[in-house]
């Protein structure tokens, strides 16, 4: 059960009402997280801006979804984890690689290295070493792709922490 109420364009006020109205007019509906974020126009607006910006990331989506999976396993947001696993499948990532991403790695050493960076950013950004960044460059990652990982992790921290605070959880699977 959610700890916070969900808002609609009719129940939200000010900027949140405007943001929700725009989203509903463009997409038909908004998810539980977005409708609950509307309690804070600053949080909702920040989430929307960062989310849109990260769609322009240079880092390959198949890699960013694996980083997101690894971070959400650590953070413990089931709603985000399910969403990123679904997105990984939609992007064509095989189940064995999804399983490895859950474990914070990949069979591909270059992808394993960038996932490791994402997890280090999440857990201990002060512990990132020059050697780790050099290793990423040796795997062919650009500075832009390395910086994109910071944005991916930041977006995951925001959404995961929000969902955990709000008490938002995945819907039970009736087939289970």
pLDDT given at position 175:
61
User: How far is the C-alpha of 132 from the C-alpha of 117, rounded, in Å?
Assistant: 8
Joined together, the tokens standing for residue 30 give 């908004």
Of 88, 141, 94, 153, the residue nearest 114 (C-alpha): 141
pLDDT at 1 over 80: no
Q: What is the mean pLDDT of residues 70-77?
A: 98
User: How far is the C-alpha of 150 from the C-alpha of 111, rounded, in Å?
Assistant: 15
Tell me the torsion sign for CA atoms 164, 33, 160, 40: negative
Q: What is the mean pLDDT of residues 89-104?
A: 98
User: Following DSSP, what letter does each residue of 58-91 receive, concatenated?
Assistant: SS-HHHHHHHHHHHHHHHT-HHHHHHHHHHHHHT
Cα–Cα distances (Å) from 57 to 27, 77, 119, 152, 163, in that order, read 22, 23, 18, 9, 24
Tokens 């474990």, located at residue: 103
Q: What is the mean pLDDT of residues 87-103?
A: 98
11: Cβ contacts below 8 Å, ≥ 6 apart: none
At the topology level, CATH places domain 61-166 in: AhpD-like (1.20.1290)
pLDDT at 172 over 90: no
pLDDT given at position 171:
80
Domain residues of the chain, as ranges?
Answer: 14-54, 61-166
């Amino acid at each position: 059960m959610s700890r916070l109420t969900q808002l609609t364009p009719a129940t939200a006020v000010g900027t949140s009402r405007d943001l929700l109205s725009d989203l509903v007019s463009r997409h038909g509906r908004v998810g539980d997280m977005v409708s609950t974020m509307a309690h804070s126009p600053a949080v909702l607006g920040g989430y929307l801006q960062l989310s849109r910006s990260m769609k322009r990331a240079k880092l390959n989506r198949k890699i960013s979804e694996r980083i997101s999976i690894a971070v959400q396993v650590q953070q413990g947001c089931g709603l985000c984890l399910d969403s990123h696993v679904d997105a990984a499948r939609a992007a064509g990532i095989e189940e064995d690689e999804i399983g490895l991403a859950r474990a914070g790695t990949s069979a591909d050493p270059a992808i394993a290295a960038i996932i490791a960076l994402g997890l280090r950013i999440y857990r201990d950004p002060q512990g990132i070493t020059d050697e780790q960044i050099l290793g990423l460059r040796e795997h062919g990652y650009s500075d832009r792709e390395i910086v994109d990982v910071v944005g991916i992790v930041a977006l995951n921290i925001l959404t995961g922490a929000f969902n955990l605070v709000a008490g938002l959880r995945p819907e039970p699977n009736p087939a289970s």
